[in-house]
Each structure stands twice: as C-alpha cells, then as structure tokens.
Amino acid sequence: MGKFVNNTEEFFVYCKENEVKFVDFRFTDMKGTWHHVTYMLSAVSASSLNNGFPFDGSSIDAWQPIHRSDMLLKPDVDTAFLDPFTADSTIIVFCDVYDIYKGEMYEKCPRSIAKKALIHLSESGVGDVAYFGPENEFFVFEDVKIIDKANESYYRVDTEDGEWNDGATIEGGNMGHRARTKGGYFPVAPIDTGVDLRAEMMQVLEQVGLEVVLGHHEVAQGQHELGIVFGDLIEAADNVQKLKYVIKMVAHLNGKTATFMPKPLYGDNGSGMHVHQSIWKDGKNLFYKQGEYGNLSDMARHYIGGVFKHARAVAAFTNPSTNSYKRLIPGFEAPSILTYSSQNRSASCRIPYGAGEKATRIEMRFPDSTACPYLGFAAMLMAGLDGIKNKLEPVGPMDDDLYELELDEIRERGLPQMPHTLRGALEALVRDYEFLQPVFTKDMVDTYQHYKFETQVWPNEARPTPFELKTMYSC
C-alpha cells in the first residue's frame, strides 16, 4: 500500500505501463469539496508538471475575484493513483493551489494550509511529524428525497436497515431482519445487509493505495465504518478525500447512495470523524510516558489542553455545518463536554486502550466528516501546539459517564462544552484566531467565517421547519 510513483520520471513510466490516456488533476476547496480538471496524457509534460496548470480561481466559492482569477494547480506526482471507476485508464493526482499574484502557496488552499502547519511544527522545534488517524463513519441509503421551497420543506431517507420498513411491501417479500434504533453495532448477516458492499469498498480502497484494516456496521440504522491506517497530516487528509470518493462511488454503482452527513436520522446515532493524533521527533513518540495516566506525556496532555482551550473556534473547522451540532448532543456517543479520559467514549478526548509506546495517541471524538480534512487537522494541530507552548492543562481526567450529567450539574461544575451551534463556533473563531496564525491568514479566516455565515447559518436560521409547524402552528 502507499505510493505508486515517487517522482516525475516514475510517473510517466507508470502511466505507460498502465496505458493511461487521461490525467485528472484534483484540488480541494474550503468546504472540503474535491474539484478536478482532466488533461490528455499527451498534453502533460515534465515541465508542465513542475510549472503547474492554469485554472479559474474566481469560479471556486469564496476564492479569487474575477479580475484576479488566474491561478495554478501544482501537482504532487507522488500522490498519483489510477481511478478505479473510469472507462478509460485515468490517473488522479493531488494538487496544491499557487497564487501567481503573490508568488506563493495560495492562502485559501486547504492543502497548502496543512503543509504550512507542518512547516510550523518543524520550525517550532516541538516535533518533525504529526500523525493523524481519522475514522470516517457514513450512512448508506437506498433512496433520498429532498424538497426545499418557499412554502414547502421535506426530506425522506430510506434504508433497508430501517425499522420503519417492518411493515413495508417489498418485492420478493419482507424478511424482517433489521437492526433497531441504536442496535446496529456488529450484528452478523442477515441483520447486517452491508457485508458485501463494505467488502467491495475495502478492496477498491486498497486498489487506490490505502491500507485497510477493518469494516463493520455501526450503531445507527444504515450506518457503517471502514478503518484505514493512519498517516502524516497531509497523507491522512489526502486519504479522507480518497476514502469519501471511493465509498460514494461504490455505493452509487451498486444502486445505493452514501453520505457523510453527521445526522441524517433523528433519534439515532450520528456519524463522526474521530481523529487520532500524536507528535513524533527523531522517530520517538513524544506523546508517550510510561506509568502516567493513559501513558500520556506532559506534552500530550498540554496538546489536549490547547485543543480544548480553543475548541469553540476549532469547531468552526472540525464541525463546520449546521447539521454538525444536531449530532453533538448527549446520549448518542457524540461528546460535547471538553474533558479527557482513558477508554471513556463519553469524553471529547479518549485515550485508546492498550496502546504501547508506538501506539500511544489521543483521539478527539467531536469532529465530523463535513470538515475539510486539511483545515480540520491543521486547526487541531495549531491549537495543540499552542497548548504545548503555554503548558495548558485540560479539565480531567474524568472516567464517569458524562452523558448522565444534567445541564445544571455541568454548569455547577464549570465543565467546558463544545459550542451548540455553528453560529457559536464561528463567533468564537472571530474572537479567537490568533493561535492559527501565521498558518491561517486573517484574510483566510475572515473569508471562511463570512462564507459559512452566508451559506450555512443564515439560510438555515431563515427556514421554518416541519417541527416548528408541528409545534407552533396552532399557538
């Protein structure tokens, strides 16, 4: 698993060996959306790979103005892999965005920001590599209907797993084997209907260079997870883009639809992106200290303290949708209290069980997959480094079930919490962004929070919902 090519020369050899006809250059916007432009292989040369490919930056949301729209895609050829879904042999290459006006990496390119975060880590002297291991949960549905009009609002998602289908008329008969609400964790077939679909996903993920460990049905109805091996910050974020692409495409080609939306089902568990993290230097895991709580070093604890101190602002990047906060409510394995604990899944930061020196790490459990992975990982790293620099102590450890705490008790004990809305996260980012600099420029942060207000917060707040009509129409 891993790289298929290491340099430009190997790139062209690999293309020849695989009879490649097209090169698909891909880059990521601030939402985390993958964009692409496809070139004939015959139009791609070693010099063009080095110099970059022009594109219109004004056509990407919240990027360049139309009078300064020319930008360059700078390919990383060592990220190349064959697209497993195209009819003609096509090779995909990750790209960074280059600002021709300033002569530097584009300040609003998420992948470039993540690279700057790694440079900052190295220059700080703290470590030379940051490892990230995301766990992206997702739902698979058979049917999705959406209506969003001035006088009508409606959605309906359907999965054969759903207990609401107990009385449905199904061609060939209704077999009745279904996981119940919050009952989907690890049942075998026929309750688990996703065995073959996940197996296909896992095999295709290995084809594109990911090292896959496991796959299983998750707690909610129609919910799944595939586990892949961790990587450094850039590799891990690249792998999230690969994983989401493969999962969506395999589902699509099987007549189903996959979504990484955090909370598509009311009353059942939502999907998170738990992120394992550690910092290393000279081959040594700096988060490990034998005999301490969870075998965590002071540095690891201070890293947690930094993430928690800035968590409300960090959430603008790790939980960047209005739907994110429908997941972060007690009782659904989505932690909102900012404390840490060994093995306790109700804490925002968990220390995984049984980790030796090489495997000791922290697991932030609040992020979700609506995050642009480059921005989410970089924001957590920058917050953690601030915690290390200032020796910040997190609240905890707390080993009891935090979901059992009443709101009054949380307030009385002064336990810090995640923001309850995207508006709250963005307003926190406005007040608290200096820890992100110089990696995240002020212009980038300003553009990001304005864009999220305009495209997420205000449209969401302006819309009446079916629940509001149900509870207020007769008031």
Residue 454 bears catalytic tag: no
Shortest CA distance to 73 belongs to which of 41, 38, 40, 32?
38
Catalytic site residue from 137, 161, 238, 368: 137
- The answer on whether 411 is annotated among ligand-binding residues is no
Catalytic site residue from 83, 160, 161, 363: 363
Catalytic site residue from 96, 218, 368, 427: 218
215 in Cβ contact with 201 (< 8 Å): yes
Catalytic site residue from 301, 350, 361, 365: 365
299 in Cβ contact with 285 (< 8 Å): no
Provide the sign of the torsion angle of the four alpha carbons 318, 324, 325, 328, taken in this order: negative
Catalytic site residue from 217, 224, 274, 361: 274
Q: Is the peptide bond before 262 cis (omega within 30 degrees of 0)?
A: no
Q: Two tokens at 447?
A: 């553009």
Q: How far apart are CA 174 and CA 160, in angstroms?
A: 10
Catalytic site residue from 96, 99, 107, 135: 135
Catalytic site residue from 83, 96, 107, 225: 225
- The answer on whether 277 is annotated among ligand-binding residues is yes
Distance of CA 266 to the CA centre of its chain: 21
Residue 274 bears catalytic tag: yes
**Beta-carbon-side half-sphere exposure of residue 360 (alpha carbons within 13 Å):** 22
- The answer on whether 363 is annotated among ligand-binding residues is yes
- The answer on whether 276 is annotated among ligand-binding residues is yes
Q: Which residues are CB-neighbours of 169 under 8 A, at least 6 positions away?
A: none
Q: How far apart are CA 65 and CA 101, in angstroms?
A: 12
- The answer on whether 135 is annotated among ligand-binding residues is yes
> Side chain identity at 73, as an amino acid letter?
L
Q: How far apart are CA 153 and CA 145, in angstroms?
A: 11
Residue 345 bears catalytic tag: yes
Q: How far apart are CA 407 and CA 145, in angstroms?
A: 36
Q: Two tokens at 160?
A: 């054969």
Q: How far apart are CA 374 and CA 362, in angstroms?
A: 18
- The answer on whether 177 is annotated among ligand-binding residues is no
Shortest CA distance to 376 belongs to which of 361, 364, 389, 394?
364
Provide the sign of the torsion angle of the four alpha carbons 60, 63, 69, 70, taken in this order: negative
- The answer on whether 137 is annotated among ligand-binding residues is yes
Catalytic site residue from 345, 393, 399, 432: 345
Q: Two tokens at 212?
A: 């896959």
> Side chain identity at 353, as an amino acid letter?
Y
Angle of helix 373-390 relative to helix 233-253, nearest 10 degrees? Answer: 150
Q: Two tokens at 435?
A: 């820890």
Catalytic site residue from 56, 104, 196, 404: 56
Q: How far apart are CA 153 and CA 147, in angstroms?
A: 5
- The answer on whether 365 is annotated among ligand-binding residues is yes
Q: How far apart are CA 39 and CA 48, in angstroms?
A: 11
Neighbours of 469 (CB within 10 A): 11
- The answer on whether 427 is annotated among ligand-binding residues is no
- The answer on whether 333 is annotated among ligand-binding residues is yes
Q: Are strands 362-364 and 273-281 parallel, antiparallel or unpaired?
A: antiparallel
Residue positions forming the annotated binding site? 135, 137, 218, 225, 269-270, 274, 276-278, 327, 333, 345, 358, 363, 365
Residue positions forming the annotated binding site for Mg(2+)? 135, 137, 218, 225, 274, 363
Residue positions forming the annotated binding site for L-glutamate? 269-270, 327, 333, 345, 365
Residue positions forming the annotated binding site for ATP? 276-278, 345, 358
Please list the active-site residues.
Answer: 56, 135, 137, 218, 225, 274, 345, 363, 365
